[in-house]
Amino acid sequence: MKYKIGITQGDINGIGYEVMLKALTDPHIMDICTPVIYGSAKAAAFHKKAFAVDSYTISVSRSIDDINPNKVNIINTSDEEPKVEFGTPSAQSGMSAFTALQAATNDLLNNKLDAIVTCPINKATIQNDSFRFPGHTEYFESLSNIGAKALMMLCHGNIRVALVTNHLPLTEIAGNITTEAILSKLTLLNDSLKRDFHIIKPRIAVLGLNPHTGENGLLGTQENDIIIPAIKQALSNGILCFGPLAADGLFGSSNYKKYDAVLAMYHDQGLAPFKAITNERGVNFTAGLPFVRTSPAHGTGYDIAGRNLASPLSMRDAIYAAIQIVRNRRAFDEMNANPLPFPEPEQKRYERPKPFDPAKADALKALHEAEKCEGH
């Protein structure tokens, strides 16, 4: 069975369509999934021609129930045809990005998609009465009907960096770093590493907040007052976590390779070294939710939009990552469903030893001697 992977167009004036259309030239993607683009067929055709992507055709479908499983599909999500203006953010492109996102998430929540991959949006132009979020992560968190919390995680190979706080101004970060928040994110990260990546006993590095992890209170007290208590509590809960560690030392010395994941305190503390290490191959994964969402780990790229310079590697990896995580979750859930209980050890009844009987002992001894004589 092929997986149905929804792909939202993002901002049509950025590099979203470019990286998407180029990524879908990989023939192996069509072997394992049916891509369903949510956006504008006219905008897709415009980008496809601009970047000379002619190795496949796009089938226009009315709805997810009408798609061709052997083709790249697109579902028109707006009656208005947005105008493409490379490198220029606009209210029209923002609304077009939102309607595509909304249509795809509706199908996702109705179990008509196996996963969703989102192209980059402009966080300012997409704002409207139905979207008041600083980014995709918070938007998808709000859609969970079970009150699940989202964890922003950047992945590439064995490098995984997760965040305690996501899209916050620097002036608000320290106030949002609490023992409870760190413990919650550690729990989400530990569970995701097991279920989504099949790591049996994950090892997690926890970064400090201040330079040099506070220098024992000289440069800040959050490490001693907040982060260390969270680590101790997580350890008592069976989570293998270590720290607090200085970000520059961990990434600069390549010691991050000793861990299955790193938990950073804020956005740039984790993403700056991650992107420097992975270059163009990072994937943004929203962990902790009942559905799978990934995206390329880059923005709209207005500076290179329309110039045929954008690399599709991160987008391609995001599609493969979505499929792999869906597979891993289903396998994990199947293996852990209705586990057989361990049998209780049999309770042997304790019998009090009988008192020593000298007469019986003498009789047994005599019988034994008689048997020896008969044998000779």
Cβ-based neighbours of 30, under 8 Å, separated by 6 or more: 24, 56, 70, 72
Q: What does the pLDDT read at residue 339?
A: 75
How confident is the prediction for the chain on average, in pLDDT?
92
Average pLDDT of 68-89?
93
| Total Cβ atoms within 10 A of residue 365 | 10
In this prediction, residues 317-334 reach a mean pLDDT of 97
Which residue, chain included where needed, has tokens 């996963």? 115
Mean pLDDT computed over 281-292: 96
List, in sequence order, every residue forming a beta bridge with 3; answer none if it has no partner. Answer: 33
The answer to whether the beta carbons of residues 153 and 162 sit under 8 Å apart is yes
Q: What percent of the chain has a predicted confidence (pLDDT) above 90?
A: 83
User: Is 376 a residue whose pLDDT tops 60?
Assistant: no
User: What pTM was computed for the model?
Assistant: 0.87
Contact 245, 208 (CB under 8 A): yes
Radius of gyration of the chain (CA): 29
Res 341: pLDDT: 75
Dihedrals φ, ψ of 277, to 5°? Answer: -80, -45
DSSP string, 246-289: -HHHHHHTTGGGGSSEEEESSHHHHHHHHHHHHTT--EEEEESS
Average pLDDT of span 270-276 = 95
pLDDT at 296 over 80: yes
**Confidence check: pLDDT of 363 > 90:** no
Question: At residue 293, does pLDDT exceed 90?
Answer: yes
CB-CB contact of 249 with 208 (8 Å) = no
Return the sign of the alpha-carbon dihedral for residues 22, 26, 31, 32. Answer: negative
Confidence class for position 322, pLDDT limits 50, 70, 90: very high
Checking if the pLDDT of 372 tops 70, the result is no
> Helix or strand or coil: residue 205?
strand
pLDDT tens digits, one per residue of 3-42? 999 999 999 999 999 999 999 999 999 999 999 999 999 9
Q: 340 CB contacts (<8 Å, ≥6 apart)?
A: none
Interatomic CA distance for residues 323 and 4, integer angstroms? 9
Angle between helix 136-143 and helix 91-109 axes, rounded to 10 deg: 40
Read off the tokens for 48: 């496809």
One-letter amino acid at 333 equals: D
Token pair of 153 as six digits: 């995680």
What is the reported pLDDT for 216?
Answer: 86
Which segments of the chain does DSSP mark as H helices, in order?
Answer: 16-23, 27-32, 41-50, 91-109, 136-143, 170-176, 179-195, 222, 228-236, 247-252, 267-278, 313-335, 358-375
Alpha-carbon span 322 to 117, nearest angstrom: 7
Among the ranges given (254-263, 282-291, 356-365), the one the predictor scored with the smallest mean pLDDT: 356-365
Q: What is the mean pLDDT of residues 353-364?
A: 68
Report how far residue 346's alpha carbon sits from residue 194's, in angstroms, rounded to the nearest whole number: 34
CA dist 285 and 50 (Å) reads: 30
Look at residue 182 and tell me whether its pLDDT is greater than 90: yes
Lowest mean pLDDT, pick from 76-80, 104-108, 372-376: 372-376
Task: Tell me the sheet residues that pair with 287.
Answer: 151
Residue 131 DSSP code = B
What's the Cα-to-Cα distance from 171 to each of 2, 152, 218, rounded to whole Å?
46, 20, 20
